[in-house]
């Protein structure tokens, strides 16, 4: 049995982030299936007419302050996809009642500023604890945030 890490509520929140971001980027979006073994990231945006992919996206929904953490495999996947396709990759998130993003890679270079790698994380309250929710994460600098609203 394939274990899905995202709940139905997580997927609704993720889709809402994709909606506002793709509207901001004037494109459409597609989310990877939560049990996919092909990708670790959440999805991508594309031109609905040409079907050309325009960027790669990882999403997080924070109820309070955005921690701006990406686990190492997702960070590496974003960089690898951007390097190999020359397309940008974004870390997209919600903080309180606003949304923002950090450009990770612009398709040519790694452009995000990160302050280190730490062992952090945790399981959200009310969920079954996953043993690997505390893990090595890239700590992105909040100075790189571009706010969408």
Burial of residue 65 (number of CB atoms within 10 Å: 0-12, 13-18, 19+)? exposed
| Whether pLDDT at 66 is above 60 | yes
Lowest mean pLDDT among 43-52, 58-67, 72-81, 96-105: 58-67
What is the set of domains in the chain, with CATH numbers?
8-111+143-147 (3.40.1350)
Beta carbons within 10 angstroms of residue 67's beta carbon: 16
Structure tokens at 120: 């952090």
Looking from the CA of 114 toward its CB, the CA atoms found within 13 Å total 22
pLDDT at residue 127, rounded to an integer:
66
Instruction: Give residue-wise pLDDT tens across range 67-88.
Output: 899 999 999 999 999 999 999 9
pLDDT at residue 1, rounded to an integer:
34
Query: Rounded distance, CA 104 to CA 87, Å?
Result: 11
pLDDT at residue 129, rounded to an integer:
65
């Amino acid at each position: 049995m394939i274990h899905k890490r995202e709940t139905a509520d997580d997927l609704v929140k993720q889709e809402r982030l994709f909606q506002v971001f793709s509207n901001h980027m004037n494109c459409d979006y597609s989310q990877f299936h939560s049990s996919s073994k092909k990708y670790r990231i959440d999805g991508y945006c594309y031109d609905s007419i040409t079907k050309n992919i325009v960027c790669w996206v990882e999403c997080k929904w924070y109820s309070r302050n955005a921690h701006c953490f990406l686990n190492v495999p997702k960070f590496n996947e974003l960089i690898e996809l951007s390097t190999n396709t020359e397309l940008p990759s974004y870390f997209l998130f919600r903080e309180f009642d606003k949304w923002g993003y950090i450009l990770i890679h612009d398709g040519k270079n790694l452009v995000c500023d990160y302050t280190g790698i730490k062992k952090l994380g945790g399981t959200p309250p009310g969920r079954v604890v996953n043993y690997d929710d505390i893990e090595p994460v890239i700590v992105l600098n909040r100075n790189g945030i571009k706010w969408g609203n």
